[in-house]
Structure 1
Amino acid sequence: MAFLSNHCLVLLSLFILITPLTFSQTPSIYDILKENGLPGGLLPKDVIKSYTLSQNGVLEVLLVRPCFTKFDTNALYETVVRANLTYGRLVGLEGLSQEELFLWFPVKDIIVDDPKSGLIVINIGLAHKQLSWSLFENPPDCKSDFLSKF
């Protein structure tokens, strides 16, 4: 009987040691953004299907559907959002557009120039916009129908 108890203790100890490795959690995309000096709210909530971050810094985020949201102006996320991720920067962005003066422009880059300033620079090619970090602290709701959001 003592042999069986010791055997069970050994098996239980092995299970406890192995379990954290087996069930390790992948960080959320919002955590990845924050770890890289960007606000988590740059991507919408409840529509992220998955993401990959390659060793060379290419971040690809898959959404379950395209959707609209609003920061200071209207924004459209496509089903794939891709960019080169470095600390404080999403460069060469694809899959995100912003409405300016009733026209839609692709967002090229999102850059945090100086984290102390509380500003984020949005590059839409024709212009650079400085927006408050606070607009992007929380992931926004995202609607599939443009009119239902506004």
Structure 2
Amino acid sequence: MSFLTIFLLLHLHLTATSSIHNLLESQGLPAGLFPDSVKSYSLDQNGLLEVHLDQPCLAKFETRVHFDSVIRANLSFGGLKGLEGLSQEELFLWLPVKDIIVNDPSSGLILFDIGVAHKQLSLSLFEDPPVCKPQGLILEENSRKMNMGFQVQR
């Protein structure tokens, strides 16, 4: 692959990533709701937002979250409603996030509707896009950490 091709791909990735974050901010939402691995996104005239990632991945805000490779939601000022493709870990259960709402930015709070409950989190957790790791990579890292405590004795 030529240097120019690599540069163009990197530029397109950075443009997609920064523009989705700019779009979120223009709609009264924090820039860091979607991970740093956004490949592309589209927004239709009805407000349907579709965000594409390279692959499904895990990130951490206050708790772990799982992003599918495609996340869909209806975007309106201060909210992502009818979310599909995002789940959050609560007490060892993975629950789908249905809505993300910022009612009053001055409160410093963001609301996550996970169906069975509404969870309020600090907006400061979402200032920067999270680093999102492929699920297999996280399982491999955890396995390595667990194995580090054991040494072969001869």
TM exceeding 0.5: yes
Q: Does 1:105 align with 2:98?
A: no
What does residue 40 of structure 1 align with?
31
Distance in structure 2 (CA, Å) of the matches to 1:83 and 1:43 = 12
Larger Rg: 1
> d(CA) in 2 for partners of 1:41 and 1:115?
15
One of 99, 115, 122 as aligned partner of 1:125: 115
d(CA) in 2 for partners of 1:48, 1:75: 15
Q: What is the Cα-based RMSD across aligned positions, in Å?
A: 1.7
Task: Work out the number of aligned pairs and report it.
Answer: 125
Distance 2:48 2:98 in 1: 14
In the other structure, the counterpart of 2:39 is 49
Structure 1: how far apart are the matches of 2:69 and 2:132?
Answer: 12
Taking the aligned partners of 2:38 and 2:75, their CA distance within structure 1 comes to 17
Say which of 20, 24, 31 aligns to 2:22: 31
Q: CA deviation at 1:62?
A: 0.6
2:51 aligned counterpart, secondary structure = strand
What residue is the counterpart of 2:73 in the other structure? 83
| Alignment match, 1:16 | none
- One of 48, 56, 62 as aligned partner of 1:72: 62
**Unaligned 5+ runs, structure 2:** 1-14, 146-154
Mean alpha-carbon deviation: is it higher for 27-36 or for 87-96?
A: 27-36
Q: CA deviation at 1:49?
A: 1.2
Displacement of 1:72: 0.7
| Matched position secondary structure for 2:106 | helix
**In the alignment, structure 1 residue 61 sits paired with structure 2 residue 51:** yes
- Please state how far the C-alpha of 1:113 moved relative to its aligned partner: 1.2
Identity within the alignment, %: 60
Instruction: Give the letter for the 2:71 counterpart.
Output: V
